[in-house]
Structure 1
Amino acid sequence: MDNRSNVHKKVAVHRFRHGLRLHDNPALLDAVKDCDAFLPIFIFDGESAGTKLVGYNRMKFLLESLQDIDSQLKKYGGNLYLFHGTPLCVFQYISQTIGLHKLCFEQDCEPIWQHRDDLVKKFCKENGIKCIERVSHTLWNPHDVIKTNGGIPPLTFEMFVHTVSVIGPPPRPVEDVEWSVVNFGVLPMSSIPSDIKVFKNFPTPEDFGISSEVGNMNRIIQWIGGESQALRHLQERLKVEENAFREGYCLPNQARPDLLGPPTSQSAALRFGCLSVRKFYWSIQDMYSSICGPSPNQNITSQLIWREYFYTMSVGNEYYAEMDRNPICLNIPWKNDYGSDFNKWKEGKTGYPFIDAIMRQLIQEGWIHHVARNAVACFLTRGDLWISWEEGLNFFLQYLLDADWSVCAGNWMWVSSSAFEQLLDCSHCMCPVNYGRRLDPWGQYIKRYIPELKNYPVEYLYEPWKAPLHVQETAGCIVGKDYPERIIDHQIASEKNRSYMDEIRNRLMNPPPHCRPSSEKETRQFMWFPDDCSEHSSQ
């Protein structure tokens, strides 16, 4: 059904931000109830959905996700309205043009969105507009977790798990909208204020001044945004989980990390909300129960629980992604003058092939495996270059498809020993040579993303500087000419940095109550260190 009148008694708007899907969307379900006309919208306001700091791949994924929603809505006689401007100006325009009775949106619990949402709620209250906010980007409402924990965030992951066990299992997904009974409203395209823009055609990244860092031919793995793709991808992931359960293990992405195979990660779809985290959680839990019995097992979804933990830890802490003003972060005197080292790290020109392959994959495709993230983060910070984790975080926020503010910052603080560990307990420092060899013994990953090294014998592939000159000439790649020299000696740097950490730890007689792991086992699980990993790290 389609109502083409420009004047409606009850107009409901659902504002997509994160939560770019039609399934398991409680706010969307509320929006279509009891209204004469329904308007689904997205506003490019320069910050929502991570657009404040965004590269080509991230913007492309976002636009594909929006276009997928629009395509689905068109099947039911509607469409997704895309605006550019401030939310208040957009809502005022809708209200003055066709009226606005109800505004619905999914909760963004991170503090960076609080001011934006407070302004909208104030506008709604002043104008008699019903404002509905629903939780569905997280498994539990982080505010409920904090309340249950006595009004403060749980300082350890173990405390967090205990707290949510008191709350109980997360809600199951809500039902889908019955679109056959929804009346879509129509916005007149005349008299649009000069301070907002309505897109008549779907924009491209270039329309926002964002150009591709590499050509499409260089993207070996193409990530496609949107709910439709996410749901197809989910079925592929569930087959991987099912095979693991039947073979007697769980967390296949962690237990057997594959740098070369088609990625089965759902992280980008979860970050943009193309896939409901509750649907993902319960799909895995239900499959486990059908194969292994009905007893609950939180370990099989521990990666999702870590995501919840970081979201909860960021609530109310607007400085969570900083060092100096962040109450849970240790203030480590990182190097201020690091010359060209940071740029070489970003460009994949450190002279360490495993590190460089990871960084080049990130720029080309927008995604890297979790084990790879830990490796380059450790290298940038306490492992080798002694550069602040804040620099790495901002780079990831721009280029990593799944980088959301709280989870990404939490990961960087942990790996850099700035938070989420006992106190600078950094005995394990990833070796950029041995760690890479363990994950990819034959160097196929390096050859894929650093083609200049493709003819190197495997014994020199991770340490090309050790290859005799005649081997380099035969391989067609001279170190220092065709591939960069090492910017640092890992063995020397890691020993020096460990001494720095020891000195800082000794000075911190009364450390702040920063977040920390509950045990060494928890640390190993987070860093994806297997029990026999010591030979691949610098002690």
Structure 2
Amino acid sequence: MDGIQIVWFKRDLRTHDHMPLVEAARAGSVLPLYIVEPGLWQQPESSLRQWRFIGQSLRELDQSLKALGAPGLIVRHGEAVEVLEQVRQQFGKAALWSHEETGNMWTFCRDAAISRWCRCNNVTWQEYRQDGVVRRLGNRDGWAAHRDRFMALDLAPQPARIRGVSILSDPLPVRPVSTLADDDCPGAQPGGRTAGLMLLDSFLQQRGVDYARGMSSPLSAADACSRLSPHIAYGTLSMREVVQALRQRRREVKADPALSAWRRPLAAFEARLAWQSHFMQKLESEPEMEWRNLHPAMADERQSVDPERFAAWAEGRTGWPFVDACMRMLHHTGWINFRMRAMLAAVACYHLWQPWREAGLHLARQFIDYEPGIHWSQMQMQSGSTGINAFRIYNPIKQSHDQDPEGTFIRRWVPELAQVPDAWIHEPWRMDASLQARSGCRIGRDYPAPIVDHEAAARKARARLRAAYRGEDALEASQAVMARHGSRKRRADGGRTGSARRNDGQMGLFG
């Protein structure tokens, strides 16, 4: 194939298991390109913490390309069609290589524009799968088999050498657009493939043994969870190489009785990896779920934001210590475990009755590992908007007692409560005035009272949801959602899961 071979890196920031790079290198001289797209970074779910992780990963990708003989990664600022047209005009004939992407509606429309540009300019665009998502899938029948076959394929070999081309590269910016807000995240995970590989190894060889019992509490989850989610989201590691490394470790464990304690946690982790593809397939099959209720019964519910309630939730000052501690940890680190993500979403959408779209945008900006395909289907599920999932109305006080019984996590992230006795740490508003004074925490002054009565709010939310989903029309709509998005996993009794209101996984999945 003549002309320049443009390898467009998007959410695949690696040279390993990268079929577009392999095929482009076979075809001719390669121009490895990353486009800093202003339109993408002006989307309301984008944040500077996400860009920092990407920037660190791009620097390492640049070094990896240089080690393979290429001049390095070419960075260009601008909208993708304009940048690609500039390259085409400079080099004449060109071919475009990339991975498929399941992103938000903005990236969907951008890729459609790229497709039109390719047709108009006689540019061949070869796209390759990099995860379990199947394009143009009519329904979920047989999807799991597609995913399993892809994960079993051999990893794409890294090219021995790349014939690169020399072209001017723009500098990697401190922030991709000037309008992106300042975003202090001192506890953020570092980006780059090396950091991802270290996490994968430490999880499979050491930390993962505590995964099944440690992933639910924020006290233990930071170590017990894999922490691979941002590396999978931005592709410094491929999902396939993670799955295959996990399966190799499971074979080792099966062969050695001394490692039997690893069996359950590794099985649980592999199930989470499968759920990742399951949820991304939902957005691929119905991109509108980013902003439109899956089930029409909820179309007119939760349409307005209460500024006071929303701000209290988003800033970690609801008056429920455990909820506020979770939100503050998320602000500080860009990560929190799956159960706490689900609880934060539930509190916003059930107890405070806020729109899931606005709550989802705030959480998306906080998550370094923001993955649109997981995030929006999970926001709909955790807010009761699907018509096929159980209403998971987390009790914030019960979660506090269950996941942080001694208040250790609360005291770390809500220092206003540092001197509150254990007996009152979960519900400090129940202390009398003298005990508040002795604890150095006057409710309403040093720390807020609960913004609503959580039990009354939960009852009201449940009643409104049940009323919305009542009737034959609602049931028929639920069945339609199930046919398009429901799991086809078989039960132990030979039947299939998929009844309306079933629980379809947890937010954040594998962490």
Alpha-carbon offset, residue 224 of structure 1: 0.7
The answer as to whether partners of 1:381 and 1:388 remain within 8 angstroms in 2 is yes
1:213 partner letter: D
Question: Paired residue for 1:204, among 174, 178, 194?
Answer: 174
C-alpha deviation, 1:129, in angstroms: 2.6
SS of match in other structure, 1:42: strand
CA distance 1:367–1:503, change in 2 (3 Å):
same
Q: Percent identity?
A: 20
Say which of 310, 314, 329 aligns to 2:279: 310
Aligned 8 A contact 1:27 1:132 in 2: yes
What does 1:455-494 align with in structure 2 at a 5 Å threshold?
Answer: 455-494=419-458
Distance of 1:342 and 1:520 partners within structure 2: 33
Flag structure 1 segments of 5+ consecutive residues without an equivalent.
Answer: 1-7, 190-197, 245-249, 529-539
C-alpha spacing 1:74/1:371, structure 2 compared with 1 (3 Å) = same
The code of the aligned residue for 2:253 comes to: I
Gaps of 5+ in 2: 257-262, 488-496
Distance 1:332 1:153, change over 3 A: farther
Confirm or deny that 1:272 pairs with 2:238: no
Contact 2:436 2:442 in 1 (8 A): yes
- Compute the TM-score of the two structures, normalised by the length of structure 1: 0.81
CA distance in 1 between partners of 2:59 and 2:297 (Å): 39
Q: Deviations over 1:317-352 (max 9, x none)?
A: 23111235x468843612625241011110111011
Q: Which residue of 1 aligns with 2:188?
A: 222
Could you say if the C-alpha distance between residues 470 and 172 of structure 1 is closer, same or farther in structure 2, counting changes exceeding 3 Å? farther
State how far apart, in whole Å, the 2-side matches of 1:225 and 1:169 are. Answer: 24
What CA distance in whole angstroms lies between the structure 2 residues aligned with 1:499 and 1:488? 17
Conserved? CA contact 1:102–1:131, under 8 Å: yes
CA offsets 1:195-251 (integer angstroms, 9 cap, x no match): xxx52x32112863434333x6xx3x331111121111111111247636xxxxx74
- On the 8 A contact 2:325/2:409 being kept in 1, the answer is yes
Structure 1 residue 408: Cα displacement: 0.4
Confirm or deny that 1:213 pairs with 2:195.
no
| Superposition deviation, residue 95 in structure 1 | 1.7
Distance in 1, Cα, partners of 2:247 & 2:8 = 30
Aligned to 2:371: 404
Give 1:95's aligned residue.
88
Which range moved further: 286-295 or 367-376? Answer: 286-295
The number of equivalent residue pairs is 482
For residues 309 and 464 of structure 1, what CA distance do their matches in structure 2 show? 41
Q: Are 2:323 and 2:396, in contact at CA under 8 Å, matched by a contact in 1?
A: yes
Q: 1:354 aligns with which of 319, 322, 327?
A: 322
Q: Judging changes above 3 Å, is the alpha-carbon distance between structure 1 residues 452 and 255 closer, same or farther for their aligned structure 2 residues?
A: closer
Q: Alpha-carbon deviation of 1:469?
A: 2.2
CA distance in 1 between counterparts of 2:433 and 2:16 reads: 59
Match of 1:321 among 280, 283, 290: 290
Alignment of 1:395 onto 2:359: no
2:320 aligned partner, one-letter code: Y
Contact 1:413 1:419 in 2 (8 A): yes
Give, as a single letter, the amino acid of the residue that structure 2 aligns with 1:362.
L
Match of 1:232 in 2: 198
Q: Partner of 1:503 in structure 2?
A: 467
Question: Secondary structure at the residue paired with 2:481?
Answer: coil
SS in 1 for 2:288: coil
Structure 1 consecutive aligned stretches of length 4 or more whose deviation exceeds 6 Å: 294-298, 519-522
1:43 deviates by: 0.7
The residue type equivalent to 2:505 in the other structure is F
Q: 1:505 to 1:207 in 2, by over 3 A?
A: closer
The yes-or-no answer on 1:46 pairing with 2:38 is yes
Note if contact 2:318-2:451 (Cα within 8 Å) is conserved in structure 1. yes
Aligned letter for 1:25? H
**Aligned residues: CA RMSD:** 3.1
What are the equivalent positions in structure 2 for 1:124-135 lying under 5 Å apart?
Answer: 124-135=118-129
Residue 103 of structure 1 deviates from its aligned partner by 1.3
- Identify the residue that residue 397 of structure 2 maps to in structure 1: 433
- SS of the counterpart of 1:13? strand
C-alpha distance in structure 1 between counterparts of 2:49 and 2:295, whole Å = 33
